């Protein structure tokens, strides 16, 4: 029997002011995926769930590549894009393999204008609330810091950075009463808030550590405020990471009358960040909780479809240390929690990756490939991951 279902749907919420490059970023991501220029696309296809959306993104990409045309600005457009990662046709599979092999990424684009302008009326106000509610299923939120605006504010970067982070915090506070029912915190809410430098090609001397240092030096208080505000939304705010992970992103290299779409930074990390960053955080967070809360069950539910892909007994050790109610909750998700990726590092993950390829185990090969991509991002100083 073959169960061709989605093994894991990971959602990512992308926040950024108007002009910060969200549409260009997504268009480049999809166009490069279609041309098999992204890491991993020699093994899998990335397909848009909505063919019309995919065609628009591809059109944007071709306009940049062939005519140096930037996509038309999408003012107040709140769109979610779903992409399926699936084995290429004709690739061999293990016989009678009863495992879901597809991964899905859902990208929520929150309009930047809503950070800078008030809604024009009740209809737009409701659309803003509905848009935010739609992204509550995300485990990762990415906040774009505009490299062009950093250049424009050279020497006084704090003016831009403080404004950006304060606007996000303020917007969240305005939405809070409409999102929380009876003021009850949410078990499911973006718990990893990653800071991304968009248009990183404009700042070639900036590596990811210096980007982090700039944010902490110039807007550390505002980062703390954002963490505090996000914490008011969630059950178990100790299971939260705000401003601990950083990445550099560049959709292309922009020159007069020319856009080099293959000269990108960080786009290969988008899928690995969405798929693997929660896996590396959620079980340790759940382990640290003192009781079996809805948040703990959610964290376990997120990682349970993924840990089956890896060969380690470490989760069993961790589960044995969980408080009684939480251990009971963990067992609800079955034997898949007998394995983990927490000690995937160096040659170990490479060995698992090679064995998975030899066995035609698509899911394990893909996820270990994502882990290797994150490790490569660290080495190249494009990605900086916080530690649990």
83 closest CA partner among 51, 42, 40, 60: 51
Domain at 48, CATH number: 3.40.50.300
In a domain, 371, yes or no: no
The per-residue pLDDT for 96 is 47
Q: What's the pLDDT at 79?
A: 77
CB 81 within 8 A of CB 107: yes
CA dist., res. 46 & res. 257, Å (int): 29
Measured at the alpha carbon of residue 364, what is the angle toward residues 100 and 351, in degrees to the nearest 5? 165
| 94 occurs within a structural domain | yes
Tokens at residue 147, please?
A: 């490299």
pLDDT at position 329: 41
Residue 202 confidence (pLDDT): 94
Q: Is residue 167 assigned to a domain? A: yes
Per run of 10 residues, the mean pLDDT along the chain (length 388 residues) is 56 91 92 93 92 95 93 68 87 50 86 77 84 90 96 96 96 92 90 96 96 98 97 92 96 87 93 87 73 73 62 43 44 39 58 82 84 93 88
Count up the domains in the chain and report the number. Answer: 1
Residue 2's pLDDT is: 40
pLDDT for position 90? 66
- Let me know if residue 304 belongs to a domain: no
Determine the structural domain holding residue 253 and report its residue range.
6-278
- 274 found inside a domain: yes
Within a domain: residue 366?
no
| Residue 108 covered by a domain | yes
**Which residues of the chain form beta strands (DSSP E)?**
6-15, 44-48, 80-87, 102-110, 140-146, 192-198, 241-248, 253-255, 258-260, 383-384
Helix/strand/coil percent split, the chain, to 5: 50, 15, 35
Residue 295 lies in a domain: no
**Which two tokens mark 2?**
């073959």
């Amino acid at each position: 029997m073959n169960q061709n279902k989605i093994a894991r749907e990971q959602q990512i919420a992308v926040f950024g002011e108007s002009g910060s490059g969200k549409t260009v970023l997504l268009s480049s991501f999809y166009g490069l995926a279609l041309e098999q220029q992204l890491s991993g696309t020699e093994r899998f296809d990335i397909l848009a769930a909505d063919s019309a959306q995919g065609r628009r993104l591809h059109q944007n990409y071709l306009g940049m590549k062939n005519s140096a045309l930037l996509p038309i600005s999408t003012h107040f457009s709140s769109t979610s894009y779903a992409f399926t990662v699936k084995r290429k046709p004709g690739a061999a599979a293990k016989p009678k393999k009863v495992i879901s092999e597809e991964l899905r990424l859902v990208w929520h684009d929150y309009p930047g204008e809503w950070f800078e302008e008030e809604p024009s009326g009740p209809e737009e106000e409701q659309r803003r609330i509905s848009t935010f509610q739609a992204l509550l299923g995300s485990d990762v939120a990415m906040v774009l810091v505009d490299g062009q605006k950093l250049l424009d504010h050279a020497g006084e970067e704090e003016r831009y950075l403080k404004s950006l982070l304060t606007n996000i915090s303020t917007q969240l506070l305005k939405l809070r009463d409409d999102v929380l029912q009876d003021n009850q915190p949410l078990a499911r809410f973006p718990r990893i808030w990653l800071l991304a430098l968009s248009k990183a090609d404009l700042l070639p001397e900036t590596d990811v550590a210096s980007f982090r240092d700039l944010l902490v030096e110039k807007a550390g208080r505002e980062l703390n405020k954002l963490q505090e505000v996000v914490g008011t939304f969630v059950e178990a705010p100790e299971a939260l990471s705000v401003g601990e992970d950083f990445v550099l992103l560049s959709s292309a290299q922009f020159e007069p009358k020319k856009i080099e779409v293959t000269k990108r930074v960080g786009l290969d990390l988008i899928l690995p960040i969405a798929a693997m960053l929660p896996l590396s955080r959620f079980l340790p967070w759940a382990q640290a909780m003192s009781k079996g809360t809805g948040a703990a069950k959610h964290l376990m539910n997120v990682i349970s479809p993924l840990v089956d892909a890896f060969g380690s007994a470490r989760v069993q050790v961790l589960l044995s240390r969980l408080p009684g109610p939480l251990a009971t909750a963990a067992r609800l998700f079955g034997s898949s929690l007998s394995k983990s990726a927490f000690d995937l590092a160096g040659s170990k993950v490479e060995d698992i990756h090679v064995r998975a390829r030899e066995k035609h185990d698509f899911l394990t090969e893909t996820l270990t490939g994502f882990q290797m991509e994150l490790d490569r991002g660290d080495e190249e100083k494009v990605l900086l991951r916080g530690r649990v």
